[in-house]
Structure 1
Amino acid sequence: MILAAKRPIILIGAGGNRPQLVEPLSAFVRRVRLPFFNTQMGKGAVHGGSNLYLGTAALSERDYVHAAVDKADLIISIGHDTVEKPPFLMRSAGGPRVLHVGYFSATVEQVYHPDAELVGDIGASVTLLADRMGGKLDPDPTILKLRKQILERIAERADEDRFPIAPQRIVRDVRAVMPDDGIVCLDNGMYKIWFARNFRTYTANTLLLDNALATMGAGLPSAMMAAMLFPERRVMAVCGDGGFMMNSQEIETAVRLGLNLVVVILNDSAYGMIRWKQAVDNFPDFGMTFNNPDFVKYAEAYGADGTRITSTDELGPVLEAAFQKGGVHIIDVPIDYSENTRVLVEELRNKSIDSEVVA
């Protein structure tokens, strides 16, 4: 199937994102020379700096990376499980064929029904596949052209100085202060899509997110556990204001345990993801806004340090200073979520990648 395909690409899901698989999967991509993309929970399985990286499927369909999916005639799906939000929709005719590679047989559903399966230890399977195919494949030029445009589109507006801060700029500044082994733990909200799409990972399990139950309130306790397990590494929780307030009392625990932890609160005084979903479905903007406490005073009440960002240029230096000082820091960051509508609603309705490339 792989040798017969003209435009094969690789998809890596959560099942492929295990520490023991990083080396065999990275070697597989390097040896077969095929472009790859990943699900949100598959980030970090292969070095994000690879020149074959197409991006992350942050949405189920009509995301930037789907321009490459639409051109592919075969998808080698490694470690994908439909408990994750499916990164593309299967089509009865005209769509790519799918080869499922996993520890377990595929869960066949309307959204996922592979043409063939390779069931067994993923590391051994991809190593043997690479032995059969190494040197026999070349990446399709059309897919590589799409890759360049996908990554350029993702990088748009990352340098903007507007305030409140654009999500692309927040991701850029967080990436700049985190070393390759630094751990970012996401709560659940719109920022999860922006981080999944824009945050490049270079080490496995350094961008922790959940995309199945997607429980709000998970970011802070996840980061606390990461800080306890890896006290020598930089650890950051990125939470929306709604998600943070669901478990914010655990700041007392973090201070009492003497953790080194930076908590970034992306403040839009709303349940931003549900507002976005309302807009996508053309519903009225209703019932999603609320008032917040003074997060600086709130942090200080627990014995943590609190900072409110008042200009875009402050964010990077404030994050760096917090890590340098150590202890628990709460950083209140106003976020401009108008990009959610521009990029994730209007552009998706009007095709996100230029038609001459997709055609």
Structure 2
Amino acid sequence: MKIDGAKAVALILKKLGVNNIWGIPGARTLSLYNEIHCVGIDTTLVTNELSAAFMADGYYRVSGKPGVCIAIPGPGLTNMLTGIAEAFLDSSAMLVITVNPKKNRQSFYIHDIPQLEIVKPVVKKAVAISSISQINELFEAYNFSCKEEPGPVVVEIGSQVMDQEIEELELVPEVFPAPMSITKEAVTKIVQYIGEARQVGIYAGRGCVGAGGELLEISKILSAPIATTISGRGVVPEDYELSTGYGFGLTGSPAAYRVFKNCDLILAIGTKFSEMATGGWGLKFNNMIHIDAAKDNLDKNYSSLFSVQADAQNALKELNKSLSGVKRTVNVKAIEEIKKFKTGHAAKIGKKQNNGSLHPARFLQELRRCLPRDAIISTDVGYHQLWSLSDFEVFDPQTYLTPADYQAMGFGIPAAIGAAMAKPDKKVVCICGDGGFLISGFELLTAIREKINLSVFVFNDGALGLIKGLQETLYNKDVSVNLNNPGLEHLANSLGVKYFRISDEMNLKETLGKVLANKGVNLVDCKVVYDELPRYIKGSIRNSWDQTPLSKKMSILYRYVKCRL
């Protein structure tokens, strides 16, 4: 049976197992939306296409399936561009479908811009489908988004293709390639280096999602501590006795910073050593073995003794087989040190004076205690994000969603919505600053329309707090950072969501219990006070200072003193 191009696209998406698509329909995508509805795929209307990309990103991060968006040509696609770039730098699989508005040789069509040229720098691949004979490339585009290092793929379909016809039997899915395995020679080499090392430390990134069991096994075989990147949090439970939490430099957890000093070999798996993960490339170590699914990530920023391109789970399985007979003595000292530093940090936060305000660290620790272990938390960008690194433990993979390497504000709420749609049985919460809330807060309407259970905690300090803090530290003044926030209670009432207010730590546990027990969408106004810098900021400032030339240091010190005279 012959079908037109719009029907072919819908059937291909159905064959790929796509069950939801995010976007805003327009005149150029009418036929696509109609056929997608006819084949039984749900579509989610968003308030802004930026949020559509963030929702697709959040969906992928918790499900492992590429999120799919449809953008009208021109403004729809450019509105999505920031979300696409976040997915690109954070290694999230995403398929974005748009339309080329041109139908013939005439010029100055509505929405007509060089779309693929604009997106090429921030996508894994940009695909132009100008004939119905190319329509099977949509299978390849979807699969390519999650091949090796995941990332976004944009497909532009010509307007004329929607009206062209093809036999339905010609829609043939591409066979998805198996993850890249590791060679025996590479395994032998790595085992040799491990055997020569006194103490191995494991540094696991987001590429280790799905390899948590193998990570725990190799950690127990080698009695090796495990630190993760920010995006890799949860690949092993952070209450595992040899888990030190995120990072292992000055920006990392205190336990990681101390314990990894004793490691003479780092086994880095599924990580690319980005600026955010390393606190501005402040990690210090002697020797490293680097395993990653993307060849381009190997030996960048940090050189290795040995590097190999391979899927993390496959590589770890083979390494565990080869290491199974050489189990090392339990590293009691490391276990005790990790426990000591974790306990010490919790006690330090617990001793902070309660002066009638809400401290972000204490709030986050109580929120963690009130949530199930497998709850999903999404953050935005700012102080709250950095406090969550040190004071919100993560126990399960794919449950900590944060815009790590592009740091795009507005991510938190839509990503949480995408996550909740992927995992409706899980408890999902979002923490965001008031600046991030002003960007994507109206997506609460989307959450209501989709009947999602979601609690959004807005850290409301009336400013772009992180930037304000840095301005005051460096220049002794603030510029263009103070917000004129709406009354969140009135806003909540107008949107039809339940409003809660937390202004201090009195009855914090009881209030959080009420919020989390309430179904539907909850907006929680948290009157936090930032009276100190989070550990990540302190560490990154130190790393930056250590890397600054002497002449530049003198200039900074001169400016610092001058601003205070």
Q: Say yes or no: TM over 0.5.
A: yes
Q: Please report how far the alpha carbon of residue 140 of structure 1 lies from its aligned counterpart in structure 2 after TM superposition.
A: 5.0
User: Aligned AA for 2:202?
Assistant: I
Alignment partner of 1:38 is 2:205: no
1:284-303 matched pairs, under 5 angstroms: 284-287=476-479, 288-303=481-496
Task: Decide whether the 8 Å contact of 1:14 with 1:81 is kept in 2.
Answer: no
Preserved contact between residue 272 and residue 300 of structure 2 (Cα < 8 Å): no
Task: Tell me how far apart the structure 2 counterparts of residues 126 and 279 of structure 1 sit (CA, whole Å).
Answer: 47
How far apart are residue 119 of structure 1 and its match?
2.5
SS at match of 1:54: strand
Q: Kindly tell me: are residues 148 and 285 of structure 1, through their superposed partners in 2, closer, same or farther at Cα, counting changes over 3 Å? A: farther
Matches within 5 A, 1:1-359: 1-16=193-208, 18=209, 20-57=210-247, 61=251, 64=254, 65-83=256-274, 85-87=276-278, 89=281, 95-105=285-295, 107=297, 111-134=301-324, 135-138=326-329, 140=331, 143-144=334-335, 146-155=337-346, 156-158=348-350, 160=352, 161-278=354-471, 282-287=474-479, 288-340=481-533, 344-345=537-538
TM-score, normalised to structure 1, is 0.86
In terms of mean alpha carbon deviation, does 72-81 or 333-342 score higher? 333-342
Alpha-carbon separation, structure 1, partners of 2:277 and 2:424 = 35
Between 1 and 2, higher relative CO (CA 8 Å, sep ≥ 6) is seen in: 1
CA deviation after TM superposition for structure 1 residue 62, in Å: 7.1
> How far 1:207 moved relative to its partner?
1.3
Query: Match for 1:11: what amino acid?
Result: Y
Contact 1:70 1:96 in 2 (8 A): no
Shift of 1:66: 2.7
Over the aligned positions, Cα root-mean-square deviation in angstroms equals 2.8
Q: CA deviation at 1:74?
A: 1.1
Shift of residue 323, structure 1, vs aligned partner? 2.4
> Separation in 2 of the partners of 1:195 and 1:187?
11
Query: Does the C-alpha gap of structure 1 residues 58 and 240 become closer, same or farther in structure 2, counting only changes over 3 Å?
Result: farther
Amino acid at match of 1:71: N
- Give the equivalent residue in structure 1 for 2:45: none
1:72 counterpart letter in structure 2: C
Residue pair 1:268, 1:336 contacting (<8 A) in 2 also: yes
Q: Quote how far apart the aligned CAs of 1:27 are.
A: 2.4
> Following the alignment from structure 2 to structure 1, what is the Cα–Cα distance between the partners of residues 297 and 243?
26
* Larger CA deviation: 335-344 vs 2-11: 335-344
| Shift of residue 150, structure 1, vs aligned partner | 3.1
Matching residue of 1:357: none
Q: 1:292 is paired with a residue of what secondary structure?
A: coil
What's the CA shift string for 1:39-71, capped at 9, x where partnerless? 111111112221001121287757633333333
1:343 Cα deviation (Å)? 8.4
Identity of aligned residues (%): 24
Deviation at 1:226, TM superposition (A): 1.6
Q: CA deviation at 1:340?
A: 1.3
Matched AA of 1:132: S
CA contact 1:80–1:102 (8 Å) conserved in 2:
yes
Deviations 1:133-192 (CA, angstroms, capped at 9, x unpaired) = 344324656644542343234322146544321121111111012101111111111121
SS of match in other structure, 1:50:
coil
1:8–1:72 Cα contact (<8 Å) kept: yes
Structure 1, unmatched stretches of 5+, are 350-359
Contact kept, 8 Å, 2:472 with 2:478, in 1: the verdict is: no
Deviates more, 1:231-240 or 1:76-85: 76-85
Structure 1 match to 2:181: none
Contact 2:378–2:430 (Cα < 8 Å) also in 1: yes
Say which is worse superposed, 268-277 or 6-15, in terms of deviation. 268-277
Aligned residues, how many? 345
Match in the other structure for 1:356: none
The one-letter code of the counterpart of 2:311 is D
Bigger Rg, structure 1 or 2: 2
C-alpha deviations, 1:306-334, integer Å up to 9, x for none? 11113313333222212222011100111
In structure 2, relative to structure 1, the CA distance for the partners of 1:90 and 1:177 (3 Å cut) is: closer
Conserved? CA contact 1:34–1:137, under 8 Å: no
2:238, 2:244 within 8 Å by CA — same for their partners in 1?
no
Tell me the amino acid that sits aligned with residue 205 of structure 2.
Answer: G
Deviation at 1:222, TM superposition (A): 0.8
Give per-residue Cα distances to partners, 1:287-321, cap 9 Å, x unaligned.
22223221111111101111111331333322221
Q: Which residue of 2 aligns with 1:352?
A: none
* Cα gap change, 1:81 to 1:139, in 2 (>3 Å): farther
